[in-house]
Structure formats: structure tokens, C-alpha cells
């Protein structure tokens, strides 16, 4: 077994892969044994942190998103920038609080939610980002109580669960019960980021009964920072700008 193979089997994967470069650098700089060991440890720590970040990103299913630096804070008629920036600092995580973003379509609530999720990933936390429709489709597809319990644990496990687009579809009794079960398993234990296009007063219109809507709302907002965003759609503005540019060219 070569030295590189021994290093690999010992868990020093970065050093095994870059052994020749490390030896050459140590020789060139005439490092002492202690200096060499310090360099190796720093390389391994940096490499493991990078790979850990990559794994968290992959498991989050976050996908592509625009950076919060690109958000036009002046466009919405109403937005609490301070509350959103506090959420981006992850102030809510330690208290297992929730962040609820309420806004009509096209005002960037998914973009904001994804940026909060990304900050949590960079901060070393486990994150899962999923639309309400995807999550409920997954849960409803389970063919046994044991399989369903495993999937419920999957959604209960991450430090931060982001449920996007609650309110875009109506829920039957089973979907309402499953959404309530996910929220209940995380209640006062781990945080949620939830986006919705409906004010809470409108939730009874998409749930099978007012009772189920009230029970869910109670769990969601008990320990929550609710931010409402009002205004016209960014996408509508961009579409109108595109039309104006095309007319100017013609």
C-alpha cells in the first residue's frame, strides 16, 4: 500500500490527493515538523468544511436563486426590511421560531425564503426547501404507516424546513392532516420558513374546514415573525419594461 493509499484509508483524503504538492511546498519553505502538521491540519479542516457545505446544499434541494443583493427594496409598497434582514441573520433559529412571508405572486417571497435557507446552510445548519405541493404529494404517495412515518421524520429532521407556496392549491382532509402533522412535529423544536400568497384570514377558503385551518394557523404563528409584503408584481413590471423596449426598437 502506498503512502497516499494509507493516508486515504486514515481519512486524510485531501492530503492523499495533494501529497506531492504538500511535500514540495514544505521542502521549498523548509518547514519544521510542527509547521508541516499545522499546514496539513488546516488543509483538512478547510476541505472537510467545503465538502460539508456541498453536502448540505445538495440535500437542501434549494436550487438556483437570485441573491438578496439583487432585491429591489424600493418596489414593494409595504415591506419590513428590518424583519427580513433579521431573518437573514438567522436570529429566529435559536428560539425555534418561524418566519412567515405573506405576499401576492411576484413580490419575491420565494427569493427571500431561499436566501434565508442559503444563509442557514452556510451557517452550518441542515436545511430542506420544498413546495407545499411537492411535500404533500410525497407524503400521500407512501403506501404504509411505517413508510409515512419515515417520510414525516424526513421533514421533521432538518434544523430549518422551508415550505414554499402554501395556499396556491386547496387541501383535502388528508393533505390538511399531513401538513398539520409536519408542522406539529416541528412545533417549538425546530424552525419553519413558510411562504404564502394568502392572508391568514383567507386560509379557511383552501382548507376542508375552518377548524383545520385555525389549528394549523395556531401552530404556525404561535412563535413566528410574520412579514407581509404588498405591492405589484416584479414580473409584471419586467414584462411591461420589455414591451416598452420592443416598442422603442420598432
156 belongs to a structural domain: yes
250 belongs to a structural domain: no
Nearest CA among 61, 164, 196, 47 for reference residue 118: 61
The structural domain count of the chain equals 2
147 belongs to a structural domain: yes
Assess whether 16 and 96 both reside in one domain: no
H helix runs in the chain, sequence order:
3-9, 13-17, 19-29, 33-60, 81-88, 109-122, 132-140, 145-156, 173-186, 210-221, 234-249
Least confident of 13-22, 56-65, 197-206: 13-22
Assess whether 210 and 109 both reside in one domain: yes
Instruction: Give the Cα-Cα-Cα angle 108, 112, 114 (nearest 5 degrees).
Output: 115
C-alpha cell at 156: 421533521
Nearest CA among 155, 117, 120 for reference residue 139: 155
Assess whether 135 and 75 both reside in one domain: yes
- What residues make up the domain containing 22? 3-60
Domain CATH number, residue 137 = 3.40.50.300
Assess whether 92 and 54 both reside in one domain: no
What are the tens digits of pLDDT across the range 132-175? 999 999 999 999 999 999 999 999 999 999 999 998 888 999 99
C-alpha cell at 47: 476541505
221 belongs to a structural domain: yes
Sequence-distant (≥ 6) Cβ neighbours of residue 107 within 8 angstroms: 76, 229, 230, 231, 233, 234
Report the Cα–Cα distance between both ends of the chain, in Å, rounded. 72
How crowded is residue 198: how many other Cβ atoms within 10 Å of its Cβ?
Answer: 16
Domain boundary among 60, 79, 103: 60
* Residue 229 φ then ψ, to 5°: -120, 130
244 belongs to a structural domain: no
Give exposure, 23-60, as e/b (b: 16+ Cβ within 10 Å).
Answer: eeebeeeeeeeeebeebbeebeeebeeeeeeeebbeeb
Assess whether 93 and 52 both reside in one domain: no
246 belongs to a structural domain: no
CA distance to 109, 129, 183, 229, per residue, from 196 (Å): 8, 14, 15, 11
243 belongs to a structural domain: no
Centroid of chain to Cα 67: 13
Mean pLDDT of 120-128: 97
241 belongs to a structural domain: no
What are the tens digits of pLDDT across the range 197-249? 999 999 999 998 888 899 999 999 999 999 999 998 866 555 555 555 666 66
What share of the chain in percent tops pLDDT 70? 93
Pairing of strands 224-228, 98-102: parallel
Assess whether 73 and 189 both reside in one domain: yes
Amino acid at each position: 500500500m502506498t503512502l497516499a493509499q494509507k493516508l486515504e484509508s486514515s481519512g486524510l483524503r485531501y492530503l492523499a490527493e495533494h501529497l506531492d504538492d504538500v511535500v514540495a511546498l514544505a521542502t521549498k519553505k523548509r518547514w519544521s515538523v510542527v509547521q508541516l502538521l499545522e499546514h496539513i491540519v488546516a488543509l483538512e479542516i478547510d476541505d472537510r468544511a467545503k465538502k460539508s457545505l456541498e453536502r448540505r446544499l445538495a440535500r437542501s434541494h434549494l436550487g438556483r436563486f437570485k441573491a438578496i443583493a439583487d432585491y429591489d427594496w424600493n418596489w414593494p409598497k409595504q415591506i419590513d426590511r428590518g424583519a427580513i434582514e433579521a431573518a437573514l441573520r438567522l436570529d429566529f433559529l435559536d428560539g425555534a421560531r418561524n418566519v412567515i412571508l405573506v405576499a401576492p405572486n411576484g413580490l419575491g417571497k420565494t427569493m427571500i425564503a431561499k436566501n434565508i435557507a442559503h444563509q442557514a446552510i452556510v451557517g452550518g445548519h441542515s436545511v430542506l426547501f420544498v413546495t407545499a405541493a411537492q411535500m404533500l404529494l410525497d407524503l400521500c404517495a407512501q403506501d404504509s404507516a411505517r413508510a409515512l412515518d419515515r417520510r414525516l421524520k424526513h421533514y421533521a429532521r432538518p434544523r430549518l424546513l422551508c415550505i414554499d407556496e402554501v395556499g396556491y392549491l386547496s387541501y383535502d382532509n388528508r393533505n390538511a392532516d399531513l401538513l398539520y402533522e409536519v408542522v406539529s412535529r416541528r412545533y417549538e423544536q425546530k424552525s419553519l420558513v413558510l411562504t404564502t400568497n394568502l392572508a391568514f384570514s383567507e386560509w379557511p377558503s383552501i382548507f376542508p374546514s375552518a377548524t383545520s385551518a385555525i389549528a394549523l394557523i395556531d401552530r404556525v404563528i404561535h412563535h413566528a415573525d410574520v412579514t407581509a409584503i404588498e405591492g405589484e408584481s416584479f414580473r409584471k413590471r419586467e414584462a411591461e419594461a420589455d414591451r416598452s423596449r420592443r416598442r422603442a426598437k420598432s
